[in-house]
Amino acid sequence: MHRRTRTRSLTVLTTVTLATAPALTATATARQPAPPPRPLPLERLYDNRAVSDDGDPGAADFDGAGRSLSAQDLKAAGWEPGARLDLDAARLRRPDRAPGRPDNVRADGQQVKLTGRGNALSFLAAATSPHGPGDTAAGRVTLHYRDGSRAGHTLTVGDWRGGPLATKAVALPHLNSREGGQAQEKTRLYAVTVPLDPGRTLSSVTLPEDPGPDSDLHIFDAAVRPAADGWTGSWAASTGGYTKVGPWRDRTLRLVVHASAGGPAARIRLENTFAAQPVRIGHASLAVRRDGATADRRPVPLTFDGGRPGTRIPAGARAVSDPVGFDVPAGADLLISIHLPGPVSAAPVHSEAAQRSYLSADGSGDRTRDAAGDAFTGSLTTWPFLTGVDVRGGPGSVVALGDSITDGVRSTPGANRRWPDVLAGRLREQHDVPRLGVLNHGISANRIVTDRYPGDGVSTDTAGVSAQHRLERDVLAQTGARTVVLFEGINDVRWGASAEAVIAGMKAIASRARERGLRVVGATITPCEGYKDCTADVDARREAVNAFVRQNGGVFDAVIDFDAVVRDPARPSRMLAAYDSGDHLHPGDEGLEAMGNAVDLPLLTG
């Protein structure tokens, strides 16, 4: 095991002896300080080899102990050299370097030339330690803007062997080693961001100093995440897990979604979240629904990557279709059709759609342009791959970050009676505040503090990683996000989390969102007495969290008291019977309507 030695350039005062004549005495002259180094493109600073061919594992040394990533594993995930990777709305690339060649920089105060305007700076990165798996490593980056201003932020990166799977960009099944060849051990790469001032133009970034002998921060790529100017998120759903499907072979999915905001052009977002391999999209289309799987007219084809009829989405990445001229009516049901040449045996899904969607028979081919629904003989109650629909124009969106109550569990299927749907309808029907789109990022059984789904692997659990771990993907990277409503916590207190832990999680979410310029609205937790595990102790913790939310203390920009809306005044630990779906935990349609109607619309915009 070895560690490399690093040298840093120093400005030195040097004493020079002048001997031009015997009578002269020695005098000292000081050299002028050297000018600061000129920022260089990242690839010119590469000084580390992270990737080796399985046949030559000694050709790379990622961690200073002779271990490296497998080139074959990366290729199997769709991460070939030079691959474009849309990770949380930032366009990153795997360096176009052959195995065994320098492909990353060990952060040690280097200045990187990087220009652009946006809302975040994203890094493709990982931490390493020669002593064994760690958790994370952190360092301070400095952003330099063209106007001469600068800002510092902490960059926290997961360890490539022991970091959290819930936040990784990709996980690979093997580790290559100079000494032992290949081992069955998970390795990871991460996409992490720091906020940018959207009103300034970035000119360069100073990477963190060397964190010390126990760990290194490695940067493979960096890119400015542009703001989604001119677009509004109209519909969205969170990926809650990665689960077995089909297998689907040469089939078309026809997914039904409900637009909140309308506009004259549209695009869709498809995500291969949590996957281990790429997925091929053959064709896709968009239509307004007439009824069932039938469109009101022939669907409009969608293209990708500047005009291609389909695309391939690497593991963990996403694809956004090219904009298409298409009049999306506000409040309309849309049909998003996706042809999967296949075979597809597992998919990222949102499991509680409260909406029936459709799929064609195995081997039925591309039916994305069918107006009729006859070919769609199967049905789905999940949303695989599809995570968003954006419309051109509009004022931006409000994101509802929540659990099953936001997800609409036990609301009438297909009726769009979730409380975010009610809120969207109210926004459309008024002119006093901007008519924001509403993005529902509720996941049934989700928590603030801990992950239900671990973030990797095929699983039957689709309750998602924690709200803290999905915040970047489901809130900060959402199209046109202006405001987030945080309404979670009942699952945490029901399953043993302390009120203090839930409050700490709420504070962390609010701090990160406000740092990115979002308005943050906190919501109190609704009661659940009568549900099987809602004990008096659970209610006491719920009340403690609600007391914190109501007191606010500057954590939130505004507060919505959903607890006060639905509770029984005569028994505040229980939901009002008229609002109860019957299980005492989830409000029914009337309760969800009361919640959506209780939101004071000016709170959303300030």
Mean pLDDT of 536-557: 97
Tens of pLDDT, residue by residue over 68-107, are: 999 999 999 999 999 999 999 999 999 999 999 999 999 9
| CATH code of residue 509 | 3.40.50.1110
Q: Which of 28-42, 269-283, 343-357, 546-560 shows the lowest mean pLDDT across its residues?
A: 28-42
- Crossing angle of the two packed helices 419-428 and 589-598, in degrees rounded to 10: 50
Give the DSSP H/E element, type plus range, for residue 232. Answer: strand 231-236
Co-location of 382 and 506 in the same domain:
no
Report yes or no on 29 lying in a domain: no
For residues 344 and 243, the answer to whether their CB atoms sit within 8 Å is: no
pLDDT tens digits for range 397-456 = 999 999 999 999 999 999 999 999 999 999 999 999 999 999 999 999 999 999 999 999
> Is 25 inside a domain boundary?
no
pTM for this predicted structure: 0.93
- Note the pLDDT tens digit of each residue in 308-323: 999 999 999 999 999 9
Q: 176, 203, 225 — which closes off a domain?
A: 225
With residues binned 3-state (H G I as helix, E B as strand, rest as coil), the percentages for the chain, rounded to 5, are 15, 35, 50
Residue 147 exposed, middle or buried by CB count within 10 Å (0-12, 13-18, 19+): exposed
Write down how long the chain is: 606
pLDDT band at 134 (very low <50, low <70, confident <90, very high): confident
Main-chain dihedrals φ then ψ at residue 471, nearest 5 degrees: -60, -45
Beta bridge partners of 266: 324, 391
Give the integer Cα–Cα distance in Å for 233 and 436. 9
- pLDDT greater at residue 10 or residue 99: 99
399 and 533, same domain (yes or no): yes
Strands (E), 30-70: 51-52, 67-70
Q: Model confidence at 14, in pLDDT bands (50, 70, 90)?
A: very low
Number of domains in the chain: 3
Mean pLDDT of 368-396: 98
Quick check: is 308 in a domain?
A: yes
Asked which of 357, 372, 390 is the last residue of a domain, the reply is: 390
In a shared domain, residues 375 and 455 = no
- Tell me what pLDDT residue 132 has: 84
- The answer to whether residue 6 sits within a structural domain is no
Average of per-residue pLDDT across 107-133: 96
Considering the domain architecture, whether residues 329 and 211 belong to the same structural domain is answered as no
User: Given this model, what pLDDT does residue 34 score?
Assistant: 63
Distances in Å between the alpha carbon of 92 and those of 67, 88, 96, 169, 375?
A: 24, 10, 12, 11, 38
Cα dihedral 159→162→164→168 (10° resolution) = 60
**In this structure, is residue 12 part of a structural domain?**
no
Q: Looking at the structure, do residues 205 and 257 belong to the same domain, yes or no?
A: no
Q: In the prediction, which pLDDT does 337 show?
A: 98
Distance from C-alpha of 208 to C-alpha of 109, rounded to nearest angstrom: 5
> So what's the pLDDT on residue 181?
93
- 105-139: b (≥16 Cβ within 10 Å) or e: bbbbbbbbbbeebbbbbbbbbbbbbbeeebebbeb
Same domain flag for 147 and 276: no
Chain centroid offset of residue 382 CA: 20
CA–CA separation, 598 and 594 (whole Å):
6
**pLDDT recorded at residue 131:** 86
Last residue within a domain, chosen from 329, 356, 390: 390
One domain for residues 296 and 434: no
In the numeric block, the tokens 């390795």 are attached to: 187
Residues 6+ apart with CB under 8 A from 350: 237, 238, 239, 240, 382, 383, 387, 443, 462
Residue 96's domain comprises 42-225
- In this structure, the answer to whether residues 293 and 386 fall within a common structural domain is yes
What is the pLDDT, as a whole number, of residue 28?
A: 40
Are 347 and 417 contained in the same domain?
A: no
pLDDT exceeds 60 at position 327: yes
The reply to whether 70 and 139 lie within a common domain is yes
Average pLDDT, the chain: 94
Point out the least confidently predicted range of 17-26, 363-372, 551-560.
17-26
Share of the chain above pLDDT 70, in %: 94
Cβ neighbors of 192 (< 8 A, separation 6 or more) are 122, 123, 125, 155, 156, 157, 158
Residue 9 pLDDT more than 60? no
Q: Please name the residue that has the structure tokens 């609600």.
A: 546
Same domain, 368 and 434: no
In whole angstroms, what is the distance from residue 510 CA to residue 569 CA?
A: 30
Q: Considering only 12-21, 148-157, 315-324, which range has the smallest mean pLDDT?
A: 12-21
In a domain, 32, yes or no: no
Instruction: Give tens-digit pLDDT for 335-344.
Output: 999 999 989 9
Q: What is the mean pLDDT of residues 100-129?
A: 97
Q: What is the pLDDT of residue 31?
A: 60
Are 165 and 147 part of one and the same domain?
Answer: yes
Helices and strands (DSSP H and E) totals, the chain? 9, 37
Over residues 514-528, the mean pLDDT reads 98
User: CA-to-CA distance for 523 and 556, rounded, in angstroms?
Assistant: 10
Q: Name the token pair of 451.
A: 């992950």
Dihedral sign, CA of 520, 489, 444, 77?
positive
Q: Tell me, yes or no, whether 57 lies in a domain.
A: yes
pLDDT band at 35 (very low <50, low <70, confident <90, very high): low
In a domain, 260, yes or no: yes
Dist CA 519 CA 485 (whole Å): 9
DSSP 97-123: --TTS--BEE-SS-EEEEEE--SEEEE
List, for residues 215-258, the tens digit of each pLDDT value: 899 999 999 999 988 999 999 999 999 999 999 999 999 999 99
Q: Is the pLDDT assigned to residue 29 strictly greater than 70?
A: no
Residue partners of 228: CB distance under 8 A and separation at least 6: 89, 390, 479, 480
